[in-house]
Amino acid sequence: MTASNATYPKVRSPRVQVEEALYAMIESLKTGDQLPPEPALAKQLGVSRPTLREVMRTLVERGVLVRRHGVGTFVASRFPVLESGMEILESLARLAERIDLQTEAAYLEVEERLATPIEVAGLEFPQGSEVPVLIVNRVIAIEGEPVADLRDIVPLEYLTKEGLGENFHGSVLDVFLERGEPLLSTSRTEIVAEAANVKFAKRLGVRKGSALLKLVGQLYSYDEKVVDYSVSYFVPGHFKFHVMRRVNRK
Amino acid sequence: MTASNATYPKVRSPRVQVEEALYAMIESLKTGDQLPPEPALAKQLGVSRPTLREVMRTLVERGVLVRRHGVGTFVASRFPVLESGMEILESLARLAERIDLQTEAAYLEVEERLATPIEVAGLEFPQGSEVPVLIVNRVIAIEGEPVADLRDIVPLEYLTKEGLGENFHGSVLDVFLERGEPLLSTSRTEIVAEAANVKFAKRLGVRKGSALLKLVGQLYSYDEKVVDYSVSYFVPGHFKFHVMRRVNRK
DNA sequence: GTCTATTGACTTGTCAGACAACTGATTTAT
DNA sequence: ATAAATCAGTTGTCTGACAAGTCAATAGAC
């Protein structure tokens, strides 16, 4: 049973098309700019107003748009939420690319082997399973200075050493996205602070015992399987993570 | 200029009512349970289908519901996202309460003074402003063991020492929520790993230099002002934070 | 009897057009 | 000069209908 025998919609639904078109439009606008009125926008995008409104509602929920009854719809983003926030999963490579930051893979190791018990648990396979996996381990550096150590554990059924291709630059996420398979839905990332052990201290050029930010992520496909279990260490100061949180009423 | 002269809608709009009703309904269901079909649900809640759909769309966006074209709408929540994730801002007291965990305020200090330059910046007041603030500093312990050091910095115009009331148990957020003023919208929380200095090491009962998770939060009101700037330190192992991240297509 | 194709009930997705409610600026009346 | 009324523009909500997807029951072919 592979991940590829699931069927997904071939043509994009109106809603998805509208979402992409809206994002493109927003990208060309500045914070605070007003969008065209709904009837005009719906006509322009070739959909009905209710459909457009459903899409806009999701963008409001994501904090991209702000609506004011009787006034209009505006581009929100007081801060670049989507740029540096943690609500969106994005490879470091792409993040850096967008802010014109040069990154180098200071260290890259690819290996195929059986998953360790901890990795099996992280991949949410039954305890005791023998799971052949691809391990991608790399250290990211900025201007020669190592800032992050990233490790991906991917079951071989989703990705093999050959599947990485020639111009693999380190990001398993990007490979999945470019390939379009498996279709990804969400990621659950656990956030921990951990003291650097000897191995990571050496790799990242910090003192043993210094505080590192550790992110443990599980990347889920549409059919609710873990397709990537990742463990990352970040050197404080070089990367800042933030998260936007809604207030829980009542 | 206080925060109270802004006007907010007096009666809840249909959409807000429906959202609350839906949450109540979902709460009484289990993961995977199917909701009534949209036409029936709309009738039951006394709104039109488009309105109901807009609300459902936001719940889908939040990961609470899952919709399958031609099949139905189901309660999602593979894990208790809203319970322990970071998408929702919630006081530690309430979080602990819900999981039947006894917490004690091992240390509580309340003080009124002028904000330091760093605090002024955190509150997003103009540089150089003299901002009188209320400082609430406390250490949370579980079963006698300190696990978190929390500090809130609140401009006096929003909260004073007297405003805390008699039965103040340590959470500024809960005071705001109970009082209903100022109306809160979102919080921006920055995530850092930091080594414990002497002061925090002593307070939290850990070795100097051990890794702590540091969260720096800015709590925003509806009129886009910072009403609470907070700095928190957490001892690893006692609290786990995670965040659900969407995949960034393209 | 077994397998395959078809039908049909049920559900979500989308559409169209209309009116209500709100906002902000303009105009009018005092 | 000031306050009230008006009005154009926008989002919010409603009604009713049809399209498209899913799944199980049914009818048909072998």
| Segment A91-110, tens digit of pLDDT | 656 555 544 455 666 778 89
pLDDT at A135 over 90: yes
Same domain, B36 and B158: no
A243 contact residues in B (CB cutoff 8 A): 86-87, 188-189, 191, 243
Q: Residue A18 maps to which CATH number?
A: 1.10.10.10
Same domain, A196 and A157: yes
**Do the domain assignments include residue B242?**
no
For this complex, say whether ipTM is above 0.90. no
At A179, which CATH number?
A: 3.40.1410.10
Do A40 and A161 sit in the same domain of this protein? no
Q: In percent, how much of chain A has pLDDT > 70? A: 76
Tokens at A3, concatenated: 């991940």
Q: Which domain-ending residue is among A63, A78, A93?
A: A78
Residue B246 sits at φ, ψ, to 5 deg, of -85, 155
For residue A61, give every residue at least 6 positions away whose Cβ sits within 8 Å of its Cβ, in sequence order, or none: B57, B58, B61, B62
Q: Taken in order A33, B126, A244, B2, is the CA torsion positive or negative?
A: negative
Q: What is the average pLDDT across B107-118? A: 90
The answer to whether residues B162 and B120 belong to one domain is yes
Q: Are residues A210 and A92 in the same domain?
A: yes
pLDDT(A71) > 80: yes
Inside any domain, residue A25: yes
**Do B87 and B67 lie in a common domain?**
no
Between residues B181 and A36, which one has the greater pLDDT? A36
| Chain A residues closer than 8 Å to B195 by CB | 210-211
Same domain (yes/no): A170, A205 = yes
Residue A179 and residue A104 share a domain: yes
Report pLDDT for B185. 67
Among all residues of chain A, which has the CA nearest to that of B242? Answer: A190
The sign of the CA dihedral B219, B225, B228, B231 is positive
Is pLDDT of A141 > 60? yes
The answer for residues whose C-beta is within 8 angstroms of residue B219's C-beta and 6 or more apart is A247, B89, B173, B176, B184, B187, B226, B227, B228, B229, B230
Cβ contact A19 with chain C strand, < 7 A? no
* A-B contacts (CB, under 8 Å): 167
Q: Indicate the range of A218-227, B33-42, B187-196 predicted with least confidence.
A: A218-227
DSSP letter at B196 equals -
Q: Which of residues 17-56 of B touch A (CB under 8 A)?
A: 50, 53-54
pLDDT above 90: residue B133 = yes
Do A92 and A153 lie in a common domain?
A: yes
Quick one: B136 and B39 in the same domain?
no
Average pLDDT score over residue span B7-26 = 70
> Tokens for B186?
């979102």
Domain that includes residue B55, residue range:
14-78
Range B44-51 average pLDDT: 90
Q: How many domains does chain B have?
A: 2
pLDDT of residue B86: 53
Inside any domain, residue B9: no
Strand, coil or helix: B171: coil
Q: Which residue has the higher pLDDT, A245 or A19?
A: A19
